[in-house]
Amino acid sequence: MAKMHVNPNRATDKAVRSIDRKREQERRKMFIFARDHADVLATKLVQRLIDSNIVETTSVSSIRSSIEKQLRSLHMLEDFDLQMKLAPLRTLVQDPNVVTLYLTQFIVEDLVEHPDIQDIFGEDIDIYRAVDSITKVLRPK
């Protein structure tokens, strides 16, 4: 009987596809959980940003509704749009939480232009850590 030849590239491709599938499922679950709990997460996140002296605002409710809107719309984002949004911060931490990266980039890039924001303080990593302290509950165990 002839020895079966196992192509190492095939095994590697299979492993990579499996990892990608698992990450995609994890991301989908996180987005759905974020959508379903957007009001609570937005309230906690805005409070954490204010308590950490990262955000200075004139209207907490306006900022909360902006963040809640982002959390509710995460699951509808196209993959390309998501990757473009995350690109500047992708190397910020070793094993990033996608939702945390997205919200950090939203705060740094878009929320800073909000009329009710007086100023945003801190570096990207400080904002990431403050956001991650709230959004880490989204990550499946």
Label each residue of the chain as H, E or C.
CCCCCCCHHHHHHHHHHHHHHHHHHHHHHHHHHHHHCHHHHHHHHHHHHHHCCCEEECCHHHHHHHHHHHHHHHHHCCHHHHHHHHHHHCCCCCCCCHHHHHHHHHHHHHHHHCCCEEEECCCHHHHHHHHHHHHHHHCCC
pLDDT category of residue 1 using cuts at 50, 70 and 90: very low
Instruction: Please give the model's pTM, rounded to 2 decimal places.
Output: 0.85
Average pLDDT over residues 5-13: 66
7 versus 113: which is more confidently predicted? Answer: 113
pLDDT category of residue 29 using cuts at 50, 70 and 90: very high
Q: What is the pLDDT of residue 5?
A: 54
Per the DSSP assignment, residues forming a β-bridge with 120 are 55
Q: What is the pLDDT of residue 118?
A: 93
